[in-house]
Amino acid sequence: MDFTKMTGAELLHEKEALDGRYAAFQARKLNLDMTRGKPCAEQLALSNPMLDILNSQSDFRSPDGPDYRNYGMGNGLPEVRGIFARMMGVDAGHVILGGNSSLNMMFDTVACGMTHGFAGCRPWAGQSGLKFLCPSPGYDRHFLVTDYFGFEPVVIPMTEDGPDMDAVEEAVKDPAVKGIWCVPKYQNPTGVVFSDETVRRFAHLKPAAEDFRIFWDNAYCVHDLTDTPCRLLSLWDECASAGTLESVFFFASTSKITFPGAGLAALACGDENYRELRKRFGVQIISPDKLNEFRHLLFLKDFDGVLAQMKRHRAIIAPKFQAVEDVLDRELSGKHVASWSNPKGGYFISVDVMRGCARRVVSLCSAAGVKLTPAGATYPRGNDPHDANIRVAPTCPSVAELKQAMELFCVAVQIAAAEKLLG
Amino acid sequence: MDFTKMTGAELLHEKEALDGRYAAFQARKLNLDMTRGKPCAEQLALSNPMLDILNSQSDFRSPDGPDYRNYGMGNGLPEVRGIFARMMGVDAGHVILGGNSSLNMMFDTVACGMTHGFAGCRPWAGQSGLKFLCPSPGYDRHFLVTDYFGFEPVVIPMTEDGPDMDAVEEAVKDPAVKGIWCVPKYQNPTGVVFSDETVRRFAHLKPAAEDFRIFWDNAYCVHDLTDTPCRLLSLWDECASAGTLESVFFFASTSKITFPGAGLAALACGDENYRELRKRFGVQIISPDKLNEFRHLLFLKDFDGVLAQMKRHRAIIAPKFQAVEDVLDRELSGKHVASWSNPKGGYFISVDVMRGCARRVVSLCSAAGVKLTPAGATYPRGNDPHDANIRVAPTCPSVAELKQAMELFCVAVQIAAAEKLLG
């Protein structure tokens, strides 16, 4: 029944029943952590064969001669660059391999802008009033990076087609706006895949700042949950046609393909940026960890191997997403207390509860033993203006745990809504 | 015979003989690369057991609960921090673990100074006329880092006791001087171990700039070549007593203990710097590669395990250092054409040839198939004012190859000297 159409008495009656259910949850003493998008133990085990894929009998000589166990090969293994090029839809000759973290490469790229600048412009550190576009809800760690470097965040609303491009095109008229964070496929947390039109509008963006840069974090480029993967139009190709390749940095990693924290990361960019960043990384480090690259190469083999690995992940996590959506449908449909995403990939389900209720919901769940991502975390500086968005991360708990946690969550959503409507 | 006391005729005669020997070397078509301090294949094999030390049966749960294969544990494994604390002679609670490269951590620390500053001072990027002290001869990659960030290098002469501390104490009176590069034990390339007095003078340094920082790169802290390891006074302890801990960043890595490029790196520093850098790294990366840390922990076990591994390295490389010194002694003693170090550890032998001759020697060797570190590389911006210093890296070639290469080298040193004396 629609909460917004209930009388006060009906709401009170409903809330009494919900309070009873909530008390029952408290008695169960749950202890579940759903704060981050972490793979579960079964997913980690998928990559266990990689652990001892190298041994003293391995052939460590690269085709060019250097021994993978020694110094040298500043940009790592060409074969690995090739796999990332396929994953990211970019040219392999423009891929730079990093360590175990694409976040680290994004941070370093922003840091490069700060001290050395892009496009021959004065370094960002020497400019004032810096701003960065933050499509929201979005990924908290992105926002923390630009926050750390002193950028004022500009919230851009997320739509079904990606960031609100009217808002983006308007915002980039300000020369103090230096970039935008994007997760173009299965966005964190909305699950949105940027539409063809959105991608084309990014390729044809005309920012006032010459040193404006799109940070295209394709974190979930192969992380499909269905038989019919969503297709993301290639920003690389669109920019190449439009002559705007220098305006984009492309990122990806294997963190949610092999091991989080022990995977590989890469970035790609146009000629000029590539030269600037290769120079920087050449000063910063002698080479990335080539043994971990070699492990990945032997384990994944090629792009088809990546896709095969992702099918194994999907078999484990798709039922978890289904379980969450089933509970949300069953408990909340038609009640007008929340709306939620049905993502076709990625790691999150995004729930918008009644305005002003997100913090209360997270707090109720926490008091009953289920930790959720803090309300507001999906907005810059933790400030969700509507206090409405909650990111649900279904991958780590078991299906049985998820059912319990989501039932509690739905009870909390309704209690918070009833409290709000009762005033 | 002393070249400087020969007559012109004697020199010409000597040079004719040397030219003959040189031609014979050219005919042998050698092909040796001694440009970098790289471990040899036998040294790499010492760490092969680490490659498959993890497997699907390993216990990946840390004592605190998190799975090493997953996200989390932002500062890595406490046990590994403990090993680094022993190696570096610092407090384990102040160790930050990095990726596979201490150079990367030094770069990031300088980058932090550039954009965020130290000691509450204006960030370096907002100050002008920045300078950095570069004890020379020294490590080229250090100099490249401060060069990249626009610091003017100030050459500090190396003495038998470390950097010339009179020169250091004078230089730091300039508030534009923001730091100094130090390799305190078995310095690259001189092999010098900083004396107790030098360490104490660093601990009591009174720089004009509050944000002056000592970059203490203890790259060879356990890399002894003799039964009686040189003892380096603990700068950590001296600074703790003097109340100057915030003026130092300590660095080390396992690059030349396990695998170069696939080892571990760490830094340590006082409270205030620690908070600043942990904050930075917490934004930059989710965690270092804990699986590689776990591999190292199982393989090395503890500090004694590190020392045992270093004994195995020594057994392989000490004879190589001996072979180089034997040839230098036999070929050049008493001729007044060169002087050289007899290091008790580290990776290099430093040779000072006759002034104005280093480039010619490197070029003669190269033309006969032996690549050396470019002359000048041990000075900032590749500029050795005397054109005299050459860094010899004995670890990678075999003893037989080294003997050939060093004989050629000695012939080249004498040819260059004869050419110079003949005018």
Same domain for A204 and A323? no
A320-379 pLDDT per residue, tens:
999 999 999 999 999 999 999 999 999 999 999 999 999 999 999 999 999 999 999 999
* Chain A residue with the nearest C-alpha to that of B100: A289
> Dihedral angle at the C-alpha atoms of B270, B272, B273, B278, nearest 10 degrees?
110
Task: Evaluate if residue A36 carries a pLDDT over 90.
Answer: no
A258-305 pLDDT per residue, tens:
999 999 999 999 999 999 999 999 999 999 999 999 999 999 999 999
Confidence of residue A135 (pLDDT cuts 50, 70, 90): very high
Residue B333, min C-alpha distance to chain A (Å): 34
Q: Is residue B53 situated within a structural domain?
A: no
Contacts of B123 in chain A (CB under 8 A): 125
User: Which amino acid appears at position B60 of this protein?
Assistant: F
> Dihedral angle at the C-alpha atoms of A405, A408, A409, A413, nearest 10 degrees?
180
Boundary (domain end) residue, out of B301, B323, B352 = B301
Q: Is residue A306 situated within a structural domain?
A: no
B305-352 pLDDT per residue, tens:
999 999 999 999 999 999 999 999 999 999 999 999 999 999 999 999
pLDDT lower than 70: segments of chain B: none
* Three-class DSSP category at B395: coil
Task: Evaluate if residue A1 carries a pLDDT over 90.
Answer: no
Determine, for residues A260 and B286 on separate chains, whether the beta-carbon distance falls below 8 Å.
yes
Looking at residue A115, its pLDDT comes to: 98
Residue pair A349/A340 in contact (Cβ under 8 Å)? The answer is yes
Q: Is residue A395 situated within a structural domain?
A: yes
Q: Is residue B26 situated within a structural domain?
A: yes
Looking at residue B281, its pLDDT comes to: 97
Determine, for residues A56 and B45 on separate chains, whether the beta-carbon distance falls below 8 Å.
yes
* Chain B residue with the nearest C-alpha to that of A149: B115
Residue A263, min C-alpha distance to chain B (Å): 8
Same domain for B236 and B372? no
Looking at residue A33, its pLDDT comes to: 87
Residue pair B282/B112 in contact (Cβ under 8 Å)? The answer is no
Least confident span in A108-112, A136-140, A173-177, B65-69: B65-69
Tokens of A342: 């049905």
Contacts of A141 in chain B (CB under 8 A): 283, 286
Looking at residue A259, its pLDDT comes to: 98
Q: What is the pTM of this model?
A: 0.97
Tokens of B300: 């090395």
Question: Which residue of B115, B116, B146, B292 to mutate against A (max A Cβ within 10 Å)?
Answer: B115
Structure letter (DSSP) for residue B168: H
| Partner-chain residue, chosen from A103, A284, A288, that has the shortest CB–CB distance to B285 | A103
Q: Is residue A21 situated within a structural domain?
A: yes
Same domain for A245 and A169? yes
Contacts of B126 in chain A (CB under 8 A): 125-126
Contacts of B125 in chain A (CB under 8 A): 114-115, 123, 125-126
Looking at residue B62, its pLDDT comes to: 84
Same domain for A324 and A409? yes
Contacts of B100 in chain A (CB under 8 A): 99, 285, 288-289
Same domain for B402 and B327? yes
Question: Which residue of A97, A285, A294, A296 to mutate against B (max B Cβ within 10 Å)?
Answer: A285
Q: Is residue A309 situated within a structural domain?
A: no
Looking at residue B393, its pLDDT comes to: 95
| Total domains present in chain B | 2
Looking at residue B33, its pLDDT comes to: 86
Same domain for B417 and B332? yes
Q: What is the mean pLDDT of chain B?
A: 97
User: Which amino acid appears at position A335 of this protein?
Assistant: K
ipTM above 0.95, yes or no: yes
User: What percent of chain A lies above the pLDDT cut of 70?
Assistant: 100
Its domain, for residue A408, covers 3-44+315-422
Residue B288, min C-alpha distance to chain A (Å): 6
Q: What is the mean pLDDT of chain A?
A: 97
Q: Is residue A33 situated within a structural domain?
A: yes
* Three-class DSSP category at B342: coil
Q: Is residue B51 situated within a structural domain?
A: no
* Chain B residue with the nearest C-alpha to that of A51: B55
Contacts of B149 in chain A (CB under 8 A): 115
Looking at residue B172, its pLDDT comes to: 98
Rounded to whole angstroms, what are the CA distances from A363 to A14, A354, A366, A372, A391?
20, 15, 5, 9, 14
